[in-house]
Amino acid sequence: MKPNRRPPRRPRTIERPSRATAESAVRTLIQWAGDDPDREGLRGTPARVVRAYEEWFAGYFDDPRDYLQRTFEEVAGYDEMVLLRDIRFESHCEHHMAPIIGRVHIGYLPRRRIVGISKLVRLVDVYAKRMQVQEKMTAEIAACLNAVLKPSGVAVVVEGAHECMTTRGVHRSDVTMVTSRMLGVFRTNFKTRQEFFAAIKLKHGGEDGSI
């Protein structure tokens, strides 16, 4: 296949406090919770938490568009739906910094170019590893794919369980939030949208693109 490359973009940078400052903040939270950060079981916790944050929020330091730069044009005229479903993700809500765990379904109708399917997983990972609301993550994944590949349409559905609701507040562990963003023909053509929802085994979208 013939790759089509575009120049990479550097991720947005922010001024970060030092590791020592971050670990000190964790010590303060442990004390505020009512425990002793110097006891044996908690002595290494500040460092472990900071390392965990580096992994959980790595998406701030990657540009998701970089993963979509390598595309392929030799597709023998293929212009039907490309669908990758059940992409597992782990994120954190920006209101309580509690985990959001779920799955993403991505579909697009290529116009001239396709992207490797593993890059769709990378795209989800970059946006998931940030603090956010699910609606924003859904819209950003769709917008990025649409802007870089310029397909005939993009469909993104996200299903997530929010631990800010399952472990606190209303304590409902049986609730899953579903969000969607339809662009191009997925928004304007009911049959195309219906095909997508049938493939991911969700209730078919309505005439306005809603679930």
What positions carry a catalytic annotation? 93-96, 134, 162, 164
- As to burial, measured by CB atoms within 10 angstroms (0-12 exposed, 13-18 middle, 19+ buried), residue 175 is exposed
Type of residue found at 3: P
User: What is the rounded distance in angstroms from the CA atom of residue 199 to the CA atom of residue 194?
Assistant: 9
User: What is the rounded distance in angstroms from the CA atom of residue 57 to the CA atom of residue 28?
Assistant: 21
Q: Which of 141, 108, 8 is nearest to 67 (CA)?
A: 8
Residues sharing a CB contact under 8 Å with residue 207, sequence separation 6 or more, in sequence order? 190
| Helix runs in 67-205, H state only | 117-128, 134-149, 163-166, 185-188, 190-199
Tell me the two tokens of residue 122.
């990378």
- Cα Rg of the chain (Å, integer): 20
User: What is the rounded distance in angstroms from the CA atom of residue 4 to the CA atom of residue 192?
Assistant: 27
Tell me the two tokens of residue 93.
């809500």
